[in-house]
Amino acid sequence: MLTVIDWIYGTTQLAAVFLSIIAGLIAISMYRHTRKHLELAPWNYLIIVLVFFAGIEVLGGLAVFGVYRTPHLTHVTASVALGFLIAALIRKIQVTKGWLE
Amino acid sequence: MSEVTQALGIVAPWYNLAMVAVVIILFIHLFRTHRKTHLGHIKPWVLLFVAVLVYVAEAVFTVLRSSQVFDLPHHVNGYFELVMIALFIYALLSEKEYLRLREEWQHLPIAQSKKASAPSKKVSPKAAKKAGKKKR
């Protein structure tokens, strides 16, 4: 029997999965702009981070509902996303210093 | 579960933690640089930094729960994730709005943009009369 807390947890997980997919779609829609401007180069990496984050959320949601559980894949996806975030930050620092002009 | 999977499961959280530390250092470096140069739009990056801090808080609570030091209920993780995603979406929409405004300014005709940017000068009535006489 599910408790109220379980229902709340399930609802928040579903909301998180839904919103992360929306975030991923918004990020992909920004790709067109980032190709035009050189100073938006860090967003190329950041878009990949957000798409990976959507993947992490989907995997987390599947694990919570007991559909598919892969602890190693969740961690590896997070590592890849963090790697791209580091690349995006380095690129943004270069832009902020004016090195890409 | 194979040995590689087990090994990844043990090691991955630790190197993730190290990478998060690098990310935080880079964020601090970025904000310091921006304070000196004022180049670019920084607001989405501040929001991303807050999202990373929320991720760190979630990770810390998970570690405390697994080591049975502090037992935070599981459903709180869902709230943490919602906050992170809301911040990501806000950052994306903020950057989109900035791009839209910038493109609008670039498409303005030159005369109109000069008018908009030129400071308004107050002309005294005497100077206006002199200018009128000179024209005649």
> A19 vs B130, which has greater pLDDT?
A19
Tokens 């992490």, residue located: A56
Neighbours of A74 (CB within 10 A): 18
Q: How distant, in Å, are the alpha carbons of A4, A64, B59, B64, B109 from that of B85?
A: 24, 18, 16, 23, 39
Q: Is residue B102 part of a domain?
A: no
Helix (H, G, I), strand (E, B) or coil at A98: coil
Q: Please report, rounded to a whole number, the percentage of residues in chain B having pLDDT higher than 70.
A: 77
In a domain, B18, yes or no: yes
In a domain, B107, yes or no: no
H-type alpha helices, chain A: 4-29, 31-36, 41-64, 71-97
* Whole-number pLDDT of residue B73: 80
Measure B95 CA to nearest chain A CA, in Å.
9
| A8/B16 Cβ within 8 A | no
User: Taking the CB of residue B7, how many other CB atoms lie within 10 A of it?
Assistant: 11
Residue B135 counted as domain residue: no
What is the arithmetic mean of pLDDT over B96-111?
A: 75
Give this prediction's pTM: 0.78
Average pLDDT of the segment spanning B40-59: 90
Query: Domain range holding B66?
Result: 3-96
Average pLDDT over residues B31-56: 90
**Rounded Cα–Cα distance for residues A71 and A79 (Å):** 13
Handedness of CA B96, B101, B105, B108 (dihedral sign): positive
Residue of B nearest to A80 (CA): B16
> pLDDT digit string (tens) for A42-72?
888 988 888 888 888 888 888 878 887 776 7
- Cβ A93 vs Cβ B26: under 8 Å: yes
Q: pLDDT category, B30, cuts 50, 70, 90?
A: very high
* B134 within domain boundaries: no
Confidence band, pLDDT 50/70/90 cuts, at residue B28: very high
How far is the C-alpha of B27 from the C-alpha of B21, rounded, in Å? Answer: 10
- How many domains does chain B contain in total? 1
Gap between the Cα atoms of B136 and B133, Å rounded: 5
| Burial class of residue B17 (count of CB atoms within 10 Å of its CB; 0-12, 13-18, 19+) | middle
Is B59's pLDDT higher than 90? no
pLDDT band at B113 (very low <50, low <70, confident <90, very high): very low
The torsion angle over the Cα atoms of residues A43, A48, A53 and A56, rounded to 10 degrees, is -170
* B20, B24, B25, B27 alpha-carbon torsion, rounded to 10°: 130
Which whole number is the average pLDDT over A82-101?
A: 87
In this prediction, residues B66-76 reach a mean pLDDT of 78
Residue B85 lies in a domain: yes
**CA B44 to CA B50: how far, in whole Å?**
10
Tell me if B39 and A93 make a contact (CB, 8 A cut-off).
no
Residues within 8 A of B (CB atoms), A 25-44 only:
26-27, 30, 33, 39-40, 43
Evaluate whether residue B120 is within a structural domain. no
Residue B33 in any domain: the answer is yes
Of the segments B55-69, B84-98, B100-114, which one has the largest average pLDDT value?
B84-98
Distance (Å) of CA B69 to CA B10, B57, B64: 20, 15, 5
Looking at the partner chain, which of B34, B75, B96 has a beta carbon nearest the beta carbon of A30?
B96
